[in-house]
Structure 1
Amino acid sequence: MQWHGELQGGYLLRRYKRFLADVVLESGEEITVHCPNTGAMTGCAEPGSRVWLSRSANLKRKYSMTWELLETEAGATVCIHSALANGLVHEGLLAGRVADLAGYTQWQRERKLASGSRIDFYAPPTHGLPECYVEVKSVTLDCGKGLGAFPDAVSKRASKHIEELAELRQQGARVVLLFAVLHEGIQRVTAASHIDPGYARTLGEAVDAGLEVLAYKANISLEQMVLGASLPVCL
């Protein structure tokens, strides 16, 4: 996944109103940028942090620049643009980088369910493999010592997605929750039971019923972001 043009560096002044952030560019100019992350961004929005921005070609946008990357105090690069996780995983699936899902060659995005909800990816039955549904969640919450967790705030929507996957499993489908780790300091992933115990409980029950949980780490640079190696999941 290539960035749209050369990223511009700066330093974070503050993030506010969920979708906005003030940044001072290397030139000294202070600007307001779009923050494409609705989560708590714990540990990823510290004032003074080094950040990188992309510029939109859409002249109608109120804020032309989007916050893409951040460098943590420990020196780890983080992609805070959570919506990019699905595109990253899609590229990885098509390129065969998700070894756990090898064998599936056709992937449909935003598969609509009978309930009206949508699951991020769907693959039809192929070569003796059952149909497969994959839901993607981005992980940036660093709990220390290389442990990452999801979610970073209470999320009823995330719990609902798990329940929908569990229902599909009961119908005979293969169901997968894939954590896309967008934080280079994270080496393993768990459910954030200290933040959302309901989600952790729902996830544990779904795993017992056959849900597969995978984690893959993004390799991030100022030129591109590529899905890399799998990481351990500790539930």
Structure 2
Amino acid sequence: MRFPAPLVSARLVKRYKRFLADVVLDGSGEEVTAHCANPGAMTGLKEPGARVWLSRSDNPKRKLAFSWELVEADGVLVGINTAHPNTLVEEALRAGAIPELADFTSLRREVKYGRNSRIDILLEEADGRSVYVEVKNVHLMRRPGLAEFPDSVTARGAKHLDEMATMVGEGARAAMVYLVQRPDCERLSLAGDIDPAYVRAFEAARAAGVEAYAVGCRITEDEIVADRPVTLAI
């Protein structure tokens, strides 16, 4: 996924109310408020003074022209915009970067299913079997090389696991894809100390036949590409 225009560099002043971030633009020194499209805790990624990169919209109807895209943390670029993972995973699927999910003939996004839910990606295999793919963004790293999910309690995530297990029971395939938006993690684990209920739901879903995969990203100021497997340490 290439950014449509060059990103604007800045320094973070503070992130607050989950979806807002005050930053000082490099060069001009102007302080602006950017949209932070991330409902999570963003542990280790919201330190005042951190170098960040923003996209800018020319849409006059938007209240905030800037959106926070990247942050420099632990010496690498980390993607924090949770609006992108579905697109990144779709690109990875079409490129064959997830071999276990490569045998599909059609791909649709945001399809209704279950108890008033939408699946992120619905694949159809050559034999007509459906594959329900739920995408989760990951950027928490508390130990070197180990990504963890979630970074905050996610009752919605546990609900999705239950619904995917139901789809497997009805004869479909279902797969969790954890998108690690940082290049310095080779393994992924679940943060049971943060959300033990999610871990229990994951274990039940896996026992029911729900698959799980993790994909890492290559990140620059120009693009984000999901192109490498990350080992599940679960």
CA-to-aligned-CA distance 1:66-114 (integer Å, 9 cap, x gap) = 1100000x20211100110001111111222221212113111111115
How far the C-alpha of 1:18 sits from its partner, in A, is 1.0
CA-to-aligned-CA distance 1:25-76 (integer Å, 9 cap, x gap) = 112211111111111111111111110011002022121111100000x202
Corresponding residue of 1:220? 219
Corresponding residue of 2:81? 81
Cα 1:184/1:125, change in 2 over 3 Å: closer
Residue identity (%):
43
Q: What's the C-alpha RMSD, in Å, of the aligned pairs?
A: 1.2
Corresponding residue of 2:93? 93
Which amino acid in 2 is paired with 1:107?
Answer: L
CA distance, structure 1, for counterparts of residue 13 and residue 214 of structure 2: 32
Corresponding residue of 1:61? 62
Structure 1: 4+ residue segments shifted above 2 A: none
Which amino acid in 1 is paired with 2:148?
Answer: A
Cα 1:82/1:182, change in 2 over 3 Å: same
Q: Is 2:103 the counterpart of 1:103?
A: yes
Which amino acid in 2 is paired with 1:49?
Answer: A
Cα 1:114/1:204, change in 2 over 3 Å: closer
| TM-score (normalised: structure 1) | 0.96
Listed as ranges, the matches of 1:105-144 within 5 Å are 105-126=105-126, 128=127, 130-144=129-143
CA distance, structure 1, for counterparts of residue 68 and residue 4 of structure 2: 12
How far the C-alpha of 1:169 sits from its partner, in A, is 0.8
CA distance, structure 2, for counterparts of residue 57 and residue 94 of structure 1: 30
> What secondary structure sits across from 1:100 in the alignment?
helix
CA distance, structure 2, for counterparts of residue 58 and residue 190 of structure 1: 39
Which amino acid in 2 is paired with 1:121?
Answer: I
For structure 1, the 5+ residue unaligned runs are none
Say which structure is richer in strand: 2
> What secondary structure sits across from 1:105 in the alignment?
strand
> What secondary structure sits across from 2:92 in the alignment?
helix
> What secondary structure sits across from 1:53 in the alignment?
strand
Corresponding residue of 2:193? 194
How far the C-alpha of 1:129 sits from its partner, in A, is 7.0
| TM-score (normalised: structure 2) | 0.96
Corresponding residue of 2:184? 185
Corresponding residue of 1:13? 13
How far the C-alpha of 1:165 sits from its partner, in A, is 0.5
Corresponding residue of 1:159? 158
Answer whether contact 1:4 1:55 (CA < 8 A) is retained.
Answer: no
Which amino acid in 1 is paired with 2:48?
Answer: P
Listed as ranges, the matches of 1:142-153 within 5 Å are 142-153=141-152
CA distance, structure 2, for counterparts of residue 100 and residue 125 of structure 1: 12
CA distance, structure 1, for counterparts of residue 108 and residue 67 of structure 2: 28
Matched residue pairs, number? 233
Cα 1:208/1:79, change in 2 over 3 Å: same
How far the C-alpha of 1:180 sits from its partner, in A, is 0.6
> What secondary structure sits across from 1:160 in the alignment?
helix
How far the C-alpha of 1:130 sits from its partner, in A, is 3.0
For structure 2, the 5+ residue unaligned runs are none
Q: Is 2:34 the counterpart of 1:33?
A: yes
